[in-house]
Amino acid sequence: MIHKNMRRFFLNNLLTQLEDISKERMNRVLSLKGFILNKNGDKEFLEILIFRGFSSSTTHPTELNINNSAIPKNAYLEKAVLFLGPMDPKKNTIIRGPCEPNLFTKKKYWD
């Protein structure tokens, strides 16, 4: 098992890469889904949206400081879905996914 600090480093690095790519794909929204382990060791659903270089959690508080990660401590990412942006609550168009979040570090997966 990856040490907790190393896992967090990899998740933050992944998020930075995805945010950078999203700056070039202005009409794409990437949804990362997974869970966090709360203080009791129970899983809580986690969703992070990445759009135009920014990320924000839809399920947990996000830091107001943009230099801090949107990924909460004890986070585990399981899948990613790419949507046509901007998102419409009535109808979302899926472009790709669900699939492994790491795939989206390759720009071709955003097309």
Number of domains into which the chain is organized: 1
Residue 91 vs residues 2, 86, 94, 99, 109: alpha-carbon distances, Å: 38, 11, 10, 20, 22
Domain span including residue 69: 4-110
Q: pTM for the complete prediction?
A: 0.86
What pLDDT shows up at residue 53? 92
Residue 9 confidence (pLDDT): 80
pLDDT of residue 1: 47
Mean pLDDT for each 10-residue chunk of the chain (111 residues)?
A: 68 92 96 92 93 86 63 86 90 95 96 92
